[in-house]
Structure 1
C-alpha cells in the first residue's frame, strides 16, 4: 500500500522553510511513490518558488504533491501514516487528536534545522515528547554519518556534471536570464540577507585586475547593493559597472533554475539552508550567510560547519575561507579576506568538488526518512 505523508510547513524566513519542504515532498512522490500532502500557511511565499501555485485555492495538485493551505481555522482531517512537523512547527491541536484516534499510530517526526554540531549525531532519531500515546521523534539533517543526510535528488550530480561540461547549455541558460558572460570574467551569484560587509567586498572586486560579474537574484541584499551603487532603484537585468566589477540583478527564479545558476558560477554566496545545500551540490567554492539567531547561537553553527568543511585544506586556504565566512557573517570588512581567498582559489575549487562527492556518498535525506519509517514499522 502507498504510504501517506503529511508535511507541515510554517513560512518563517521567506523561502528557506518552504524551499526544503517543497523539495522533500516532490522527491518522496517521484522517487519513493509516497502520497504527500504539503500543508503551507503562506502560499504567496510558495508562489515565488512555484509560479503555478494558485494562492486562492485551499487545495491543489502540483508536480504530484497535494498542496493544502494550512488554515487558521482547522477543519477535521484524517491523519496520515507519517507526519512531519518541519522545523519544529506546532501542529494543529485537532490534527494531533486525529493522530491519536487512528487505529494504527502514525510516525510523527520533527524535521529539524540543518546543523554540523557534534551533538546532532547523538540526538538524531531519538524519541521526543508524546501526545497521548503518539511518540514524536527527532530527525536531524546533517553532514556526518549518524544523521539524516542532505536533500539530494537521484541523478542530481550527474545532471550537474553534464551541464558544467556543456558551455553552450550554460550560455543558453544565462542568456535566458539576460546574462551575457564575458569569457575572462569570474561569475559570482549573490543571495544573502542584509549585510554591512557588502560594500567592502564590492570595493575589493572593483579594484581588482580580474573581471568579476556578480549576479544578484531579487532578495533582501538588494538594498545594500543599491547603496553601494548610489542609485535610487535597481531594475532587473540592468548592468552596473564600476572598475573591474559588473553587477546585474536577476529575477527571482524557481528552484531548478537556481540550481543551474549555481552550476554556472565560479563562486556562490548563499543564505539560509536550502540554497546553502544546493551550493554544496554545485561543487564550487561558496560563502554562507547563516540565518541570524538570538544570542548569536547561529555563530556556533557556523563554526561547527567550518570545522568540518575545512578539514584537509592547507593552513593558508583554511585561514582564508574561514576568515571570509566569519567577516561576512559579522558584517565586517571583507577586503583582506577576499584577497586571501582569491590566492587560494585553485585549492578551494578542488576542495569544493571533493566535499560534494564525500557528502554524496551518504544516503540522501528523503531516502533516510523512508528508511526510518520502514525500520519503525
Structure 2
C-alpha cells in the first residue's frame, strides 16, 4: 500500500502513559515513512509539554518533521485539513464524527490501536476487521501484546540507541543528571510509581549487605516516600535523604528521552503504567511494575496474564531459576494487589528479590531478548501496512 499521510489520534485523560506511547510510535513511524505527512491529534497539551520540553501551547506546531495539532483546531478546520490515508485511533479515543464521515469517503485504513495486554484472547482478535459502512475504508483491531501472535510492544530505534549508550557510559550519564552524587559501590535503582507504601522495600534495603541509591521519580513517588520517611529517623539534606544504608534522591521531572537515558544505566527499575514498564523490561534489568489501578481489581487479571506470558517466554532455564522466577512473579502480583492507591502497607517481601538479584537479572535479560527479537510492534505494523 502506498501511503502519503497518517493521522494519529490520542485523548489524554489524567496521566502521561497514552501520550508517551503515541509520541514514541509517531517518532518511529516518521523514521520508517520519511516522506509521509504524519499528524498527531491531541485533546490537550499539558502532559505532552511535560514529557517534551520543546512543545508550545499552540494549536498547530511541527517538531522534528511531525505535526501536532489540537483536536479542537482540526475539527474547526477539517474542510481544509482533510483526512489521512491511514488514521490510528489510539486506545478507543473516539475520533470526532466529521472526521469519520470524511474518512469513509477518502481514507483507506482505520487502525484501532488497543492497550497493551498479556491476555491470550487478544491473539485471536489481532488484525481482525470491524465492519463499518464504507466501500473504501477498512477498520482493523491492532492488539499490542507479549507474544509473537500479538501486535507486540513498542521498540523504537531512539530507545535502543540510548540503551546501548547507557550500557557503555554509566558514570557519564549519572554525572550528567545527578552531579556530585556518590554512586560508587552502590546498587542504583529508579522508583516511578502511583501512590503506595514503600515501607517493606525500605526495611529490606536499610540493612542490605550493599548500599543502595534510589532515584525517586514523579510527584506521586515523591509523595509516597515523604509519607513514610517523615515517620523514620532519617538524615535530610534537601533533595537527598539517607535512611540506614539507603540514599534517596527526589529527582526533577525528566523528558521521555532523559528518563530513558537514566534507566538505561541503573541496576534496576520500578516502573508504572505502560510506557515506562515496557522500557523497563526491554532493558533486561530487574524491574517491578506498578500497574494502573482499575475498578473491581481488573488490573490483577492483566498482571496475571503478563506473568503467564513471561513464563512462557523463558521456559529454557534451570530448575533453580524457575523457583526464583516463581517468587519474582508472585512478588509482582503482591506488589499490585490493591483496591485503591493508598499508603496502606502491603504484604510484599523484597528480601529474596535482592538476595537473588543476579538470577533475576539473568532471567530478565532472556525475556528482553525474546521481546526484542519477536515482538517489535512498529515493525509488525509497518509490514501489515506494506502488505495491505
1:181-330 equivalences under 5 Å are: 181-196=182-197, 198-230=198-230, 238-310=239-311, 311-312=314-315, 314-330=321-337
Shift of the alpha carbon at 1:141?
1.2
Q: Out of 69, 79, 93, which is 2:97 matched to? A: 93
Alpha-carbon distance between aligned partners in 1 of 2:180 and 2:73, rounded to the nearest angstrom: 42
Q: How many residues matched? A: 367
Alpha-carbon distance between aligned partners in 2 of 1:219 and 1:41, rounded to the nearest angstrom: 23
Alpha-carbon distance between aligned partners in 1 of 2:186 and 2:126, rounded to the nearest angstrom: 43
1:1-377 equivalences under 5 Å are: 3-33=4-34, 34-55=36-57, 57-71=58-72, 74-75=75-76, 76=78, 77-102=81-106, 105-133=107-135, 134-154=137-157, 156-157=159-160, 159-173=162-176, 176-178=177-179, 180-196=181-197, 198-230=198-230, 238-310=239-311, 311-312=314-315, 314-331=321-338, 337-362=349-374, 364-376=376-388
Shift of the alpha carbon at 1:66?
0.1
Give the match's secondary structure for 1:74. helix
Alpha-carbon distance between aligned partners in 2 of 1:167 and 1:192, rounded to the nearest angstrom: 23
Deviations 1:144-173 (A, max 9, x none): 112222211237446523421334433433
Aligned residues of 1:40 and 1:68 also touching (Cα < 8 A): yes
Q: Which moved more, 1:85-94 or 1:5-14?
A: 5-14
Shift of the alpha carbon at 1:129?
4.2
Shift of the alpha carbon at 1:300?
1.0
Give the match's secondary structure for 1:361. helix
List alignment gaps of at least 5 residues for structure 2: 339-343
CA RMSD after TM alignment? 2.3
Change (3 A) 1:131 1:21: farther
List alignment gaps of at least 5 residues for structure 1: none
Aligned residues of 2:162 and 2:260 also touching (Cα < 8 A): no
Give the match's secondary structure for 1:100. helix
Aligned residues of 1:58 and 1:69 also touching (Cα < 8 A): yes
Give the match's secondary structure for 1:220. helix
Give the match's secondary structure for 2:374. coil
Shift of the alpha carbon at 1:237?
7.0
Alpha-carbon distance between aligned partners in 1 of 2:19 and 2:296, rounded to the nearest angstrom: 25
Aligned partner of 2:341 in structure 1 is none
Give the match's secondary structure for 2:88. strand
Give the match's secondary structure for 2:9. strand
Shift of the alpha carbon at 1:336?
6.3
Shift of the alpha carbon at 1:319?
2.8
Q: TM-score, normalising length from structure 2? A: 0.88
Alpha-carbon distance between aligned partners in 2 of 1:333 and 1:304, rounded to the nearest angstrom: 25
Deviations 1:312-341 (A, max 9, x none): 352431232123212211257567631011
Give the match's secondary structure for 2:219. coil
Aligned residues of 2:285 and 2:364 also touching (Cα < 8 A): yes
Change (3 A) 1:242 1:358: same
Q: TM-score, normalising length from structure 1? A: 0.90
Aligned residues of 2:270 and 2:287 also touching (Cα < 8 A): yes
